[in-house]
A and B are shown apart, each in its own frame.
Chain A
Amino acid sequence: MMLKHKLALLFVIFLLVFGSLNVYVTWREVSKTITTEALRLGENMGYFLSQSLVEDVLQNNILTAQNKIDDFKKSNPSVTYVYVLGPDGKLLAHTFSDGFPRRLLDFNEPSKSPSIQPLLTQEGKIYDVSLVLIPAMGGELHIGLREESILEAVKSTILHMTLFGIISVGVGGVLVLLSMGAVLRPIKELENGIRKIMGGDYGHRLPILSDDELGALSRAFNKMSEELEIRNRQIQEYINKLKVTYSKLKRTAERHKALITSVGDGIITLSKDGRILFWNRSAEEFTGIKGSEAVGKHIEEVLRIPAKMDVEDNLGVELSLQDKKGKGAKRVLRIFARKLSNESGERMIILRDVTDEVVKEELNKKLSYYEQLITFGQLAASVAHEVNTPLAAIMLSAELLLLECKDEETKTRVKEIISKVETCKQRIDNILKLARTNQAIERKLVDLAEVIDDSIKQCQEGKCIMYSDSTQILKRYEYGRHFVFGDPVGLREVFENVILNALQAMKDGGKLEIEIIEDREFTYAKISDTGMGIPEEYLGRIFEPFFTTKKKEGCLGLGLKIANAIVKAHGGEILVESKVGAGTVVTIKLPRRYL
């Protein structure tokens, strides 16, 4: 809605409100005037009449009083009736020719002052004005006044007030219409000025048409447009500078992007909540995941990297990844995290390919280990040779002494010497065997069933002193079906060790089950017992040299170490599963062919 329409609407609202108020006030005033006029008229008329009636009423001159009120009515055409009541309330005189309408006494009993009561009668509307006839004694004088006579007095007043109201509103309305154009002109100028400023014409100025508030508004507008012109110039200069800076920054950013994209490390940037913001080409190469797929996802959905990885962890976390097709060698990545911005909480994840370093390190470790083993083998062979010679001499001398000796006590002691020497020899043999496993083995086609049967037999015949007769042995293999390329002596040593351990685990009897199965590449000899099982904390240490839980039984802790060394020398491995109280399953995995 236009301002002029608003002003007009406002004017109309004011006009209606104040016009209605004016009508209401006029109504009230006229009503009051009519009432006052009626009372005044009645009082004026009645006062002199009542004064003249007092003596008559007091002295009970009814006829005189009647004559007086009759004369009064005749001389006043506006009077419809007059009646007089005495101090005792009794009707004394009236002007009704056909008798007194007694219902009139039901209304308008005067108090101290004159009172008025409009009555609707057959003769039209009548205003009954009543006065106290005699103060402090009572008596009433009632005068009935015709409505026309009262309205006649105030009609001209109403007419004048109405005409004056209409003329005032009309003149006011015309003046407002005429003055609206003059009032609105500066506002139109202001509107045009604002449009020009909006169109970029900052040099536009308004004419100052007056010194009032609108003039002040025009001056303020001109001041504002001057300020805008200056600010616009400054902004343009600033924008030009920004453009130059932006161009430089853009080139720098492009260089940095190319650098980051082509760098050998994988670079990933993360938002504060771990969402991937950037994913460079090396990261794509390491993970096999395209940047377009990774960006926007949470890092934990893409890589097994803790989202809140310590950004100060300079050592990094290593992660092994298969290449994208799951073939080929594993890639080892070292992960570093850095803060990018304290304010935004963004972080950078760096993926560095350390596969070559790790492989090199492992090779160095192996090399060092093999060198130690060779040295140990050579030392062991030398020691064994040096010790075996005197042991053989002791053995021979002891056996001769046993043959010659008659004394039983001496015989017992000599036997003890022989037993101890045999133990020493056996242990030296073991050390020699361990040393030999590091040497190249001679291989030939071996029937694994035969080797296992020989091993069982060996264990049953003497090696196992704790073997229980109630132990049941189940063989699930056949001769002539399971061949491997290997050293039969070494393999027998392997199975003897494993089976011996199984039997020792079942001191109170149990079930030993041996099964041979094979796939395309390997033959698996699975030896299961129902013995006591191996505690979990020992499982990782059973192949360590000199680790044993049977020291009391005189075990050295080299059996499984030797067996593992022999199997590894064959290109296989020993797998152990065990549960305390349920038993142990040892699987000896050997390649079917000589590689």
Chain B
Amino acid sequence: MIGREFIVTSIVVLLLFSIVFYLYPPEIGGNVVVVDLNEVSDANVKRTTSSVDVVYFGFDLRLGPKTDIETYAPLMSYLSAKTGKQFKLKYAETYEETQYYLASGLVSFAAIGPVSYVSAELRYGNVIPLLVGLDSIRSKTYSAVIFTRPTSDIMRIEDLKNRSFAFGSFYSTQGHLIPRIMLEKAGIKLGELRRYAYLGSHLACAQAVISGLFDAGGMQDTLAFTLESEGLIRIIAVSEPYPRSMIAANRNVDPDLLEKVKISLLELDPFGKDTELLNWSMTEFPGGFAEVDPEYYNIYFELVERFIQGEGS
């Protein structure tokens, strides 16, 4: 019967389809390219990519390389979209490197603390503060804290004599400069400490104290308050407010780009439309940015010369 023949034929056709399909599966991931693995060379192997329109952005190491990169990465995407340039982070292992990169123009912009700014300006010149970072209550100032473990017998700064003390980075405003000022005001000089060290970041400083390597430490207020709320540390002193960290720029950056970056950052609204853009609490500018005069940071010049350059040199 014709009907049955048709059905049988169609089943056979479908079967053949399936077999062919099973034996010869479809290509995936686009066109296949032929590569000779024997054509080798180890010397100067480098992918050549165009660096035109790439703008490098530096930063002071705060919470560690990976964490800081992850924190700043969305900001780079935002600035790329706003300015039409490709913004890339430039990693520097030290604060001095970042200062050099910014002053020399290897990076055009950088998220740095006042100490780095003043140090670069004093050492190289050619750096300008572009915007000041705001805290969660939109204040242009911040503080540093001196903290211990919750179980420590240290209750006051004065108790720190002959005790070990951890600083963050040497060039950190909150992790070194302000705690130094606080110690000095309490009548404690570095030599009166049993031992002290610069651990490179606020997080390293906190971990060192929590782990018992050091009796106390100095660090930035925001992270300290978070750690205290979790019961990991105890804050024994909070400093006076000082001008906050900034976005600084090389003086030779194209004014149009400078203006575009400035406007783009000022437009950010951490409490509204841009809440999800960054992990704001991990930054030095949880309240966004505000315009600032270079004179705003004049207070730091004398302090840096006394506490940083004097010892650093």
Contacts and interface: CB of A to CB of B under 8 A. Distances in A.
A118 interface: yes
Interface of B: 1-4, 6-11, 13-15, 17-18, 21-22, 25-42, 45-49, 65-66, 69-70, 72-73, 76-77, 87-91, 93
Contacts of B14: 15, 19, 23, 165-166, 169
Contact of B49 (A27, A109, A116): A109
B41 A100 contact: yes
A90 B46 CA distance: 4
B47 A127 contact: no
Contact of A89 (B34, B40, B49): B49
Interface in A88-109: 88-91, 96, 98-105, 107, 109
Given A23-B21, A173-B11, A99 B88 contact: no
A119 interface: yes
Chain A interface, >50% SS class: helix
Contacts, number: 190
A87 B34 CA distance: 27
B28 A127 contact: yes
Contacts of A119: 32-35
B88 A138 contact: yes
Interface size class of A (residues with CB under 8 A): 35 or more
Chain B interface, >50% SS class: mixed
Ranked nearest first, the 3 interchain pairs of A and B with the lowest CB-CB distance are: A8-B3, A99-B40, A136-B73
A135 interface: yes
A540 to B, nearest CB: 98
A90 B48 CA distance: 9
A116 to B, nearest CB: 4
Given A23-B17, A137-B88, A165-B18, A59 B37 contact: no
B40 A15 contact: no
Given A99-B41, A162-B21, A165-B18, A125 B9 contact: no
Contacts of A23: 14, 17-18, 21
B7 A90 contact: no
Contacts of B69: 54, 58, 134-137
A102 B40 contact: yes
A194 B276 CA distance: 78
A127 B29 contact: yes
A12 B38 contact: no
B28 A34 contact: yes
A54 B32 contact: no
Given A91-B46, A101-B39, A158-B22, A180 B29 contact: no
Given A35-B29, A116-B29, A136-B69, A8 B37 contact: no
Contacts of B15: 166
Given A12-B10, A173-B11, A5 B25 contact: no
Nearest to A104: B35
Contacts of B21: 23, 26-27, 158, 162
A136 B88 contact: yes
14 contacts: A5-B1, A15-B14, A34-B28, A54-B69, A59-B93, A98-B40, A101-B40, A105-B46, A117-B30, A120-B34, A120-B35, A127-B29, A136-B72, A150-B28
